[in-house]
Structure 1
């Protein structure tokens, strides 16, 4: 099973939606937790159909801040136990009847309120009787090496986070990829800050149940936070391919301006010019969409992937005025491509 947690930093603009749909398309998660949706419940639930994850549970935002959402696929046996502005707590049942606990977490961003986050974890731990994994944006680091730039984080703040995890029997699951999951997007190296705020933690029972788990810090998509991916099994032994060559309409196509034009032209050509029946006309539309996706969008996707790779390399380099400047240029080019 694949779990993803992402601080999306609002879903109210096209770039954010595009980033969300890309994550869904490329990673195909079974459970997806979003924090800082900054959107009301009814609007967030509208994403169920775009994501192809028709099960959804949300927590309303507070004005223009906060907001949580949990999506899961049909076939995933999930029951939401509790919700607050800081978390969504759920039970997941496996096919063999084994039940474990999934929690999507969003820590208090304000320094003077972080104790509220750690108190919430301890309270939830009191009622714990399932193997437990907790993932999301904790808005805190555990070690000084998890921050680069800016004022050093006070040791007492990191210690409080560690003590809360220890009290709950939760251990950091590590990661693959870049250590820093958040950056402040400053245009100058003097004010550039990056930190590891997003992570996955679990207790010993959960790790024993899923000894082959893998945690990956994903590429940044619109948000200044990376998404955190947890595979409960090692699924990367082989390439993830889609079976067969059957045509299927990609949800992301509707975001492309050319999509409607291609459908309209193909339909008119088949029905008005060739006089074909509806069944054959539909096949003609599908064929034209397939060619467009493969030859036009495919080339665009390759350029986007190359641009992301270059941007990722810059983000992993030591902070300097040159590197920060190059990062801003690459981000602008990537936004134009997307």
Structure 2
């Protein structure tokens, strides 16, 4: 088949038709043809070409501008990525964490920077969480030499792993919580299922929620319901907030107007973690490339000091032998200045109490375990042989011993916890334990910054620095006395006021000041708290005479009133001797939780029955305030007609 190509004939149209001949001009041998219509057509054509070229240039310009913007965004992202890698490299080199977690890396798993982390001494493997159709937001990386962790739980908001650490297994949960409260509820449930109370466990990361109202500053209200749900998870998992060092707020919105800062990043641990790592601290580092501040949790084992100071325990006073031990130590003859004598006698009391307490109150943990074993042994015998009178008595004795051991154990940890809002009653030993551990974490000195700004972290260096500092601080300096300056001070006080201020306090005033000491305050340099200095009210100090002739009813009432008014456990003492005591009623609304009435001498009643209405010694007090009245008596009532 042949085909023909037909030429296309263009219709010239009206724009291409001229109506007249051009004008011809000759000048200097050059012929010029000037046609006005053709010139006009050329002008229109040039304008059309310029317009078409401008449209083409505008499209290209827009494409060029978009390309430049895209290239600028890409360059900006590259700069941020480079800055982030630089900050991460610097952080790793400075602090060298054994385990590293990155939140929101915004990088595909296939683009994990293996070479970057391998050069920093980390394994070429890593663990990440899984999110539906989204990039993982948590990466866990560990140092070379650390065994690969086992995943215990995972979600789009957390990863829980277990490491084989020297000595035990430890669990760590890394969190990147959702910004929506309803989504965080699932996270709280997942953490409660993942965290085991039997394994040392730590939880850290971005929780996107605050616990307290002062942990947020700026526009916006404190979300009480969100904080309550967060705290419920912390309580259910039995977690303790790790003491923090550095700046308070860990997140900022980086705005000049409407600036908001909050504590969104934090770390927790359970009691088992503190048992393994006795020293746990959280450090909030400077944030340079992110709106969140990096956190580093340092956990190491700091050896306990060998020179542990003496500490007095108030439950010692409930023992019947306590008063005699103190009296025996106080009778030691010491000469010298009265203040020197007082200090030396307190030292002697301390030494005697150390020996006595070590023998009377051995390891309370062992005592509780022994009491449990004894009770179990007796109950097993009852189960096999049946109940007998002997086994019944043995079981009752074993229960009593266990009850006393548990009470002593709880009182010991109650004193160490120093929780004033918590009262004895129900078994609160667990919360006492956790409180003591947390307080010890806060009180530990793990690092000091000296004058030149360098930090000391080794214990020996801290010891030397503190010792040298206080030696220099207490060095004697040359003093120039300028008595003439005193003449320039105006005399505002009258002579009577000055004389009143210079009066030496009486013995009763000093005694009252000592008795008003806080009973649960921190002990002084001698190791005795306030409760140890106001515990015994001797009737002889209130006018009683141990001669068997003078009625000491008023003295006993006064001593009882003083003991009842004391807010600490106290004892009314009638020391050795013979006392004549008429009918007395000891009553009052007592502040103390325990009052002892100890009689070491002989108490005689009046020989005449006319002095008695009904009873001899009557105790009347409010049981809602006084928990316990301990009576330890050695009373002889001779045959005097009563």
**Contact 1:141 / 1:195 at 8 angstroms: preserved in 2?**
yes
Equivalent residue runs for 1:31-110 within 5 Å: 31-46=99-114, 47-54=116-123, 55-59=125-129, 67-81=137-151, 82-95=153-166, 97-110=167-180
**Contact 2:138 / 2:158 at 8 angstroms: preserved in 1?**
yes
> What is the CA distance between 1:221 and its match in structure 2?
2.8
Match of 2:283, SS state, is strand
Match of 1:77, SS state, is coil
- TM-score normalised by length of structure 1: 0.62
CA distance in 1, matches of 2:133, 2:103: 14
CA distance in 2, matches of 1:86, 1:129: 24
Match of 2:285, SS state, is strand
Match of 2:295, SS state, is strand
Structure of higher RCO (CA pairs closer than 8 Å, 6+ residues apart): 1
**Contact 2:171 / 2:201 at 8 angstroms: preserved in 1?**
yes
In structure 1, the partner of 2:218 is 149
Residues 75 and 240 (structure 1), Cα distance of their counterparts in 2 relative to 1, 3 Å cut: farther
**Contact 1:37 / 1:61 at 8 angstroms: preserved in 2?**
no
In structure 2, the partner of 1:121 is 191
Residues 75 and 239 (structure 1), Cα distance of their counterparts in 2 relative to 1, 3 Å cut: farther
The C-alpha deviation readout for 1:221-268, integer Å capped at 9, x for no partner, is 301111111111267477689xxxxxxxxxxxxxxxxxxxxxxxxxxx
CA distance in 1, matches of 2:210, 2:192: 18
CA distance in 2, matches of 1:195, 1:89: 25
CA distance in 1, matches of 2:262, 2:180: 15
Residues 85 and 50 (structure 1), Cα distance of their counterparts in 2 relative to 1, 3 Å cut: farther
Residues 34 and 106 (structure 1), Cα distance of their counterparts in 2 relative to 1, 3 Å cut: same
Equivalent residue runs for 1:107-256 within 5 Å: 107-125=177-195, 129-188=198-257, 191-233=258-300, 236=447
- TM-score normalised by length of structure 2: 0.33
The C-alpha deviation readout for 1:189-231, integer Å capped at 9, x for no partner, is xx10000111110111111221211111111130111111111
**Contact 1:171 / 1:202 at 8 angstroms: preserved in 2?**
yes
> What is the CA distance between 1:108 and its match in structure 2?
1.4
Aligned length: 228
Residues 181 and 22 (structure 1), Cα distance of their counterparts in 2 relative to 1, 3 Å cut: same
**Contact 2:106 / 2:137 at 8 angstroms: preserved in 1?**
yes
**Contact 2:205 / 2:266 at 8 angstroms: preserved in 1?**
yes
> What is the CA distance between 1:107 and its match in structure 2?
1.2
> What is the CA distance between 1:114 and its match in structure 2?
1.9
**Contact 1:78 / 1:90 at 8 angstroms: preserved in 2?**
no
In structure 1, the partner of 2:365 is none
CA distance in 2, matches of 1:219, 1:62: 33
The C-alpha deviation readout for 1:45-66, integer Å capped at 9, x for no partner, is 5342243212422235666765
Residues 136 and 11 (structure 1), Cα distance of their counterparts in 2 relative to 1, 3 Å cut: farther
User: Structure 2: any 5+ residue segments left out of the alignment?
Assistant: 1-77, 303-445, 449-454, 459-642
CA distance in 2, matches of 1:86, 1:61: 9
CA distance in 1, matches of 2:133, 2:293: 24
CA distance in 1, matches of 2:188, 2:103: 17
RMSD of aligned Cα (Å): 2.6
**Contact 1:106 / 1:137 at 8 angstroms: preserved in 2?**
yes
**Contact 2:197 / 2:270 at 8 angstroms: preserved in 1?**
no
CA distance in 1, matches of 2:134, 2:199: 34
> What is the CA distance between 1:143 and its match in structure 2?
0.5
CA distance in 2, matches of 1:156, 1:87: 22
Match of 1:206, SS state, is helix
Residues 108 and 73 (structure 1), Cα distance of their counterparts in 2 relative to 1, 3 Å cut: same
**Contact 1:38 / 1:63 at 8 angstroms: preserved in 2?**
no
CA distance in 1, matches of 2:113, 2:160: 18
User: Structure 1: any 5+ residue segments left out of the alignment?
Assistant: 1-9, 242-338
CA distance in 1, matches of 2:280, 2:288: 24
Q: Does 2:89 match 1:18?
A: no
> What is the CA distance between 1:70 and its match in structure 2?
0.6
Query: Bigger CA drift: 25-34 or 57-66?
Result: 57-66
The C-alpha deviation readout for 1:153-211, integer Å capped at 9, x for no partner, is 221111110001101111211200111000000122xx100001111101111112212
Query: Bigger CA drift: 202-211 or 57-66?
Result: 57-66
**Contact 2:211 / 2:230 at 8 angstroms: preserved in 1?**
yes
Match of 2:286, SS state, is strand
